[in-house]
Chains A and B, each alone.
Chain A
């Protein structure tokens, strides 16, 4: 692996971005934690915080290597070159030189390879944590830990390889700036599989199960929005114009999606809600994720506006099909991720990023659109199928779901022997 000198500006930005993305997981914990009933809030917080525990270790040990080994091979999975942090140096590096990536020049990292590894680790932590929204209030903690561990190895590592590490989807010509497919479609499909396997919460949908603290949800939304700067602008892997473009697109897409969601919500139900504003902003952040460094002008705002309205309407899917996706991971992350990934096929332009492709509106024809659709639905199908299989094996061995009595008591007391609020 050829070494290259590190760039101080890029390294400084990526150190900050890594911290920003890590902070999104506690943000997600508060976003979700506010939406569950007060007897399940510690269960939700613990699941999210514990992802920062177990997944960081797995990443260092094996998953970074499985995802980013054999960079640029156009293949399905990495290898053991970086097993247990072997050769993950403090120096800059060129990944995938001599392969198809950048015409054989490979991906030049002017930041320490160990920093690239740390940055990608924060993605690997939040992605499985996103799933907790669909399984809320009823999944055994032990089963959760086994699930996200197996999922990181069997689902996240290969999909990250296909898209982020010059694997077969990247070689095909699909674009994903910061994880529309790898993070959001991937987690959204897994969330759908798990909530179908788990079944509905006891009493859903007849019994009201409304959020116990929307102020928490608003705090979580603020943290997510803030952290997303690192998620998307950091994905430029440099402190440059593309990073700035990604940051601007990220923030304005969130703004537009909030507006889109609240407008449709108010037209349909009569009132603009705080939960709607928060959900709309997050849906916009999801949709702009694959597009952030590839679109310019008003594209980010248009993508956000459409996403806000469509994701609000997508909430009805769970009622129509009867799956208890408790906190709408499918409606927000799966649908938002699909929208962003596919809309990129229309809005992408090489004027913004010469490393990308032109979409339909930039005169690039339908090639990119076709590749985006393939990448989106392959990721969806793969993640759904393997997640379902992992979940089924866990269900048949240690059991996925808590007992009816434990569900009634709440996860805080039954899984962790604690209560959140003194009474």
Chain B
């Protein structure tokens, strides 16, 4: 079992979600977050005063998936989330020890 975490541009969320559904991913969770990477922040102007905003809005997606489908899911996210401009985000993979479906008590691959 693997946990795939992707931090993407907020406006690409629908594309990523639809692409993952299309390849049969059964579930994911999404959170609105703020952060910075190489893109840095942006500048806002209020009555001539410049404010530098370091932390900018991103969306984080978590998907837990069977280990043999990891590459397919990662490729799918990367393809759907890419704009080619700085700030497209990152995807990383972490091992998951166990997965339990609360309703039935099923484990791991059965619980995905």
Chain A interface (Cβ within 8 Å of chain B)? Answer: 205, 208, 210-211, 265, 268-269, 271, 273, 275-276, 279, 312, 315-316, 319, 328, 331
Contacts and interface: CB of A to CB of B under 8 A. Distances in A.
A194 to B, nearest CB: 20
Contacts of B44: 208, 210
A361 B20 CA distance: 72
Contact of B51 (A208, A265, A279): A208
B17 to A, nearest CB: 27
A211 B45 contact: no
Nearest to A278: B47
A211 B46 contact: yes
B49 to A, nearest CB: 7
Interface in B37-57: 44-53
B45 A316 contact: no
Contacts of B47: 273, 275-276, 279, 312, 315, 328, 331
A210 B45 CA distance: 9
A276 B47 CA distance: 6
15 contacts: A205-B49, A208-B51, A210-B46, A268-B48, A269-B48, A273-B46, A273-B47, A275-B46, A275-B47, A276-B47, A315-B47, A315-B48, A315-B49, A316-B48, A319-B49
B48 A312 contact: yes
B41 to A, nearest CB: 11
Contacts of B51: 208, 210
Interface string B41-85: 000111111111100000000000000000000000000000000
Contacts of B45: 269, 271, 273
Nearest to B44: A210
B46 A265 contact: no
B49 A265 contact: no
Task: Specify the main secondary structure of chain A where it touches its partner.
Answer: helix
Interface of B: 44-53
Nearest to A327: B47
Nearest to A261: B47
Given A208-B51, A273-B45, A273-B47, 15 more contacts: A208-B44, A208-B53, A210-B44, A210-B46, A211-B46, A265-B48, A268-B48, A269-B45, A269-B50, A273-B46, A279-B47, A312-B47, A315-B49, A328-B47, A331-B47
A268 B46 CA distance: 13
A271 B48 CA distance: 10
Nearest to B47: A315
A118 B52 CA distance: 47
Nearest to A316: B48
A320 B44 CA distance: 21
The CB with the most chain A CB atoms within 10 A, among B47, B51, B53, is that of: B47
A112 B52 CA distance: 56
Contacts of A269: 45, 48, 50
A271 to B, nearest CB: 6
Contacts of B52: 208
Contacts of A208: 44, 51-53
Contacts of B48: 265, 268-269, 312, 315-316
B91 to A, nearest CB: 31
5 closest cross-chain pairs (CB), A and B: A208-B51, A315-B48, A210-B46, A315-B47, A269-B45
The CB with the most chain B CB atoms within 10 A, among A269, A279, A319, is that of: A269
Contacts of A211: 46
A205 B47 CA distance: 13
B55 to A, nearest CB: 11
A411 to B, nearest CB: 20
Nearest to B50: A269
A241 B71 CA distance: 78
Nearest to A209: B51
Nearest to A207: B51
A269 B46 CA distance: 10
A269 B50 CA distance: 9
Contacts of B53: 208
A279 B46 CA distance: 11
A281 to B, nearest CB: 13
Contacts of A268: 48
A217 to B, nearest CB: 10
Contacts of B49: 205, 315, 319
A118 B50 CA distance: 43
Contacts of A271: 45
Contacts of A273: 45-47
A307 to B, nearest CB: 15
Nearest to A265: B48
A269 B51 CA distance: 12
Contacts of B46: 210-211, 273, 275
